[in-house]
Chains A and B, each alone.
Chain A
C-alpha cells in the first residue's frame, strides 16, 4: 500500500539532517501524540495530555535549544543555511499529528529569531536567555506578542500603518523600559510562555518604523499577567490569551536589535511563519491522506470499495494532487528562506510577499480539498474518530493567523503590482 512517503520531496535540496530529524519526529508523533490527540480539544485549558509530549520533545530531546549557538548549549541551527529546510521537515511531521502542537512549537522560535539570526545576532540577549531554554529538561515556551484589541491584524500590517496604531508603550526610565499595554492572541500565552517578545511603540501614534520596539519580558516580571486560554474551534495545543503589561520594567538592553532594525527584521517572522504554515498544512494533509486510505478501502459503495467508484476516485485524485503540489511549494518556500544568497534576506518585502502568496495558495487548497474529503466521508467525515474533522478545524486557523487572508492578499498585490495606496 502506498504511504505518505511516496509523495515527492525535492531530494536535491533537503537538509542533511532531514533523515535523522524525520525519524525522531515520526517516532515521537506516532507514540506520544497520535494515540492521545482525540482528547486534546477538551484539554485546552490544563494541557494535562498535551504537555507531556511537549516536555519530551522540547526538554527531553532538547528541541527548544536548537536555535541557540552551540557554545551556549544550543544546536546552532540559527546560523545554518538549512535552518528552514530542517524546520520544514519537523513542522510537517508534527502537523501530521496535530497542527496546534506544530503551531505552538514553531511559534516558540519566533521571538528568538530577532536575536539568533545573522546579521543581527544579539549575543548578550542570547547569553541571557540561553540558560532558560538550554539548562533544563522541562518544556519552555516563548511568545511573540503583536496583536492588540483595537486593531487586530493592523499591528502585523507594518508596511501600511508603520506601527502608528500600536498602543503598547515602552518608555525609557533610567536604565529600564517601562512597558504598559494589552496584547491579545499571542501563541503560547495563557500561562505557558516564560519569555515574551512584546511589540511596543516608543512614540505613540508615530509612523516612523524606528519607534517600533521589540522588547523581551519574562513571565515573572512584576506587572506581567497572562489571562486564561481562549476557547477556540480547535488548535487546543496552541494556547492564546490576553497579556497585560502594567508598568512592567525590564533592562534597556532587553530591546531585540534597535531602532529601525526591530521593524525591519520583523519580516523574518513573516517569511518563516508563512513557510511554517505551509509545512503544517501539508503535514495535516498527509495524515488526512492516511485516514482517507483507510476509509476508502474499508467502506463499500455499490458492492465495491469506495475508492473504486469513478466519481469518488476523482475527489481522491484531486486530494493527492494537492498534497503533491503543496509539498513541492513548501520545500521551495523553505529553500527560499534559507538561501539568502539566491533569494535575498529573510526580511525582504519581496520574500515576505512571495511566501505570503505561497501560504495563501496552500491554505486555500487545503480548505477546498479537505472540505470535499469530509463531505465524501458522509456522516463519518464529522466524527472525531476519523481525525479528518480535527485537521479541518485546526488548519482553518492557520489561514487566519499572522493577519487575515485579506491582509495577505494586500501584501502580495502591493509587491507584485507596486500598488501605492493599498
Chain B
C-alpha cells in the first residue's frame, strides 16, 4: 500500500467529508476489487458490478449532490469538486472503468444539482431514481461524434446523434447507430445531447434506459474499461416527458463537461497512483545485470522511474487545480462558462496524454511483465488509452482552445 500523501496535493482544501469518503472508498476498493483481482481479474458480474453497487449505493456516491429534501446528501457546493477528485482517485487506483462510470454519475448530479445552478424541475424528476432504494444508477451520455453524412445537425463540427421533436408537451427521440460514452448495454439513464427539429439550439434530455423504443445492440469488444459494457443504441420514437429536458444551449453542456472532465482527470490520476505502486515494487525487488544490482539503483532506470513520479506529481496537481477552479466560480467563472470548459478540457487531455506516456515508459521498464496480466499494469494501460480515445481527438480539442484563446471565427 502506498502513502496517499506521497504525491503532493492541496490537502488543506479537503474537508472532513472528503477525507472520510476517500478513506471509505479506499478500504472498499482494496477489499472488493484489488484483493479479488488476482483470481477474478476483470469479471463484470463477480467483481465490477458488485463493487459499483457498493460505491454508488452503500457508500452513497450517487446521492451526493442531490438535495436532502429529495433524499440526497446535499453535498452540492462548488467545493464538492475536491470531493470528486479525492473520491475518484481512490476508485481509479483500483479500477479505471469503475471510476469512469462514477465520473458520469457525479457529472450529471453536478450539472443538475450544483448550488448556484440548481435545476428544480430536473432534480425533482431525476433525484428519486438516484436516492430511492438501493439500486445503482449507471449513467451514460450520448454526445456528438463524427458523422457519416455531409449535412446533419452538428455541434462544434461533430454530429448530434439523436433528433428530438416536440417541446413543452414532451419529446420524441429518434436516432440509429447511436454511440454512448459508456455502458450502452447496461445504463439506467442516458443523458442525450439532441438536435432539436427546426431549432439550432440543442437540448440535453435525460432518457431512462427502460423507455419503450430504446433498443440496445450487442455489446462490442474494446481495448479496456471492462466495467463499461458498451453497445450501440437505437432510439425509435422514444417518448420522453418534457421535464426530462435538463437544459438547452451550451452553458449547461459546458457545465456538465467541465465536471465530467474533472472526474476523468481524477480517474487518470488514480490509475497513475496504481502504476506507481506497481513500478515501486518492481524497482525495489528486481535485480539486473547479474548479482546485487537492484533495479531502482541503476542510473538509467532510476531516471525513468523519477520521470514517472514527476508526471504523477504534475497530473495530480493539475487535477486538484481544476477542482480549485470549479470550487471558486466567483474567482474563475462558472463551470458553464466557455473559459472554464476549455481549461477543464485542456487539463483532462493533458492528464491522459501524460498518463499514456507514463504507462508506456513503465511498461518498457518492466518488459514482458508490463504486458502480462499477472502484473496488472497492462490493464491500466488499456483503460487509460480507452478513456483518452473517448475524450476525443487531441487535434480537434485544440480547436476548442483556439476558439477561446484566439477568438477564431470559422472553426
Contacts and interface: CB of A to CB of B under 8 A. Distances in A.
A375 B389 contact: yes
B386 A231 contact: no
Given A152-B286, A232-B378, A379-B181, A299 B371 contact: no
Interface in B71-115: none
15 contacts: A153-B367, A160-B290, A164-B290, A232-B378, A300-B149, A300-B150, A303-B154, A315-B395, A374-B388, A375-B388, A382-B222, A393-B223, A396-B363, A396-B381, A405-B367
Contact of A400 (B154, B158, B367, B390): B367
Contacts of A302: 154, 157
Contacts, number: 157
A165 B292 CA distance: 11
Interface stretch (B20-28, B140-148, B237-245, B273-281): B140-148
Interface string A380-422: 1111110001001100110111011110011000000000000
B385 A374 contact: yes
B365 A378 contact: no
Given A38-B221, A383-B221, 19 more contacts: A153-B288, A154-B289, A161-B289, A233-B378, A300-B149, A300-B150, A301-B158, A301-B396, A303-B151, A306-B146, A375-B389, A379-B145, A380-B146, A382-B222, A397-B371, A400-B367, A400-B368, A401-B368, A404-B367
Contacts of B389: 374-375, 377-382
A385 B289 CA distance: 42
A367 interface: yes
Interface residues of A, number: 62
Contacts of A154: 288-290
A377 B388 CA distance: 11
A222 B152 CA distance: 69
Contact of A298 (B148, B304, B374, B381): B148
B396 A400 contact: no
**Interface of A, helix, strand, loop or mixed by DSSP:** helix
Interface string B153-173: 010011100000000000000
B220 interface: yes
A240 B290 CA distance: 24
A376 interface: yes
Interface residues of B, number: 56
Interface of B: 145-151, 154, 157-159, 179, 181, 220-224, 286-291, 300-301, 304, 356, 360, 363-374, 378, 381-382, 385-386, 388-390, 392-396, 398-399
B86 to A, nearest CB: 27
Contacts of B221: 38, 41, 383-385
B382 A393 contact: yes
A35 interface: no
Contacts of A404: 364-367
